[in-house]
A and B are shown apart, each in its own frame.
Chain A
Amino acid sequence: MSQSVIAANNLVKHFAKRQSLVDRLRNKEVFNVPAIDGVNLELKKGETLGLVGESGCGKSTLGRTLVGLYTASQGSIELSGKEVGEARTLEERRTVQMVFQDPFSSLNPRMTVGEVLREALLFHSLATKENVDEKSKELLTLVGLPHDALKSYPRQFSGGQRQRIGIARALALQPKILIADEVVSALDVSVQASVVNLLMDLKRDLGLTMLFISHNIAVVRQVSDRIAVMYLGRIVEVGPTEQVFNNPSHPYTKLLLSSVPKMASGSQISSAPAGELQSIKSALVGCRFRSRCPVAVDACASIDPSLTLVEGTHQAACLLVK
Chain B
Amino acid sequence: MSTPLISVQDLNVEIKTNRGLLKAIRGVSFDINGGDSIGIVGESGSGKSITLKAILGLLPNNAHVSSGKIFVAGTDISTLDKKARRALLSETAGMIFQDAIAALNPVITVGDQIAEVPRFRLGQSKSESRQTALKLMEQVGISDAESRFGLYPHQLSGGLRQRIAIAIALSGSPKILFCDEPTTALDVTIQAQVLRLLLELRKNSGLGIVFVTHDLAVVNEICDSIKVMYAGRFVEAGNVHTTFSTPTHPYTYSLLKAAPDPDEAVHRLFSISGEAPNLTAPVVGCPFAPRCFAADDHCLTAEPALLSIATSASACFKSSGHDTWAASDSKSGVK
Contacts and interface: CB of A to CB of B under 8 A. Distances in A.
Interface of A: 54-55, 144, 158, 160, 188-194, 196-198, 200-201, 215-219, 221-222, 241-242, 255-272, 274-277
A263 B191 contact: no
Contacts of B260: 193, 196, 216, 218-219, 221-222
Contact of B262 (A200, A218, A255, A266): A218
* Those 6 A-B pairs whose CB atoms lie nearest each other, nearest first: A261-B217, A259-B192, A193-B269, A193-B271, A54-B187, A188-B43
A180 B280 CA distance: 34
Contact of B192 (A192, A241, A242, A270): A270
B265 A221 contact: yes
Contacts of A267: 220-221
Contacts of B160: 276
B275 A261 contact: no
Contacts of B256: 263
Given A190-B272, A193-B269, A222-B266, A265 B218 contact: no
A215 B258 contact: no
Contact of A265 (B241, B263, B266): B241
A144 B241 contact: no
B193 interface: yes
Given A193-B270, A197-B269, A261-B218, 10 more contacts: A144-B335, A160-B275, A188-B214, A261-B195, A261-B215, A263-B217, A263-B256, A263-B259, A269-B199, A271-B193
B244 interface: yes
B159 to A, nearest CB: 5
A218 B261 contact: yes
Interface residues on B, range: 35 or more
B265 A196 contact: no
A189 B262 contact: no
Nearest to B245: A265
B188 interface: yes
A259 B186 CA distance: 12
Contacts, number: 141
Contacts of B266: 222
Residue from A188, A196, A201, A260 with most neighbouring chain B CB atoms (10 Å)? A188
A268 B256 CA distance: 19
Contacts of A262: 217, 220-221, 262-263
Given A261-B215, A265-B245, A271-B196, A215 B44 contact: no
19 contacts: A189-B214, A190-B291, A191-B271, A193-B271, A193-B272, A194-B335, A221-B264, A221-B265, A222-B260, A222-B267, A260-B217, A260-B262, A261-B215, A264-B220, A265-B220, A265-B245, A271-B195, A271-B196, A275-B193
A241 B189 contact: no
Interface in B278-329: 291
A55 B187 contact: yes
Interface in B11-54: 43-44
B273 interface: yes
Given A193-B270, A197-B269, A272 B258 contact: no
Given A188-B43, A200-B268, A263 B187 contact: no
Residue from A191, A241, A255 with most neighbouring chain B CB atoms (10 Å)? A191
Nearest to B43: A188
Contact of B221 (A198, A221, A261): A261
A200 B271 CA distance: 13
A276 B335 CA distance: 40
Contacts of A201: 335
B259 A256 contact: no
Contact of B244 (A198, A255, A265): A265
A189 B270 contact: no
Contacts of B218: 261
B105 interface: no
Residue from B189, B193, B195, B214 with most neighbouring chain A CB atoms (10 Å)? B189
A189 B219 CA distance: 14
Given A189-B214, A219-B260, A269 B192 contact: yes
Nearest to A217: B262
Contact of B258 (A144, A192, A257): A192
Residue from A191, A216, A263 with most neighbouring chain B CB atoms (10 Å)? A263
B211 to A, nearest CB: 12
B3 interface: no
B188 A217 contact: yes
Contacts of A216: 260
Contacts of A196: 260, 269
A265 B241 CA distance: 6
Contacts of B143: 274
Given A193-B270, A194-B335, A261-B218, A215 B43 contact: no
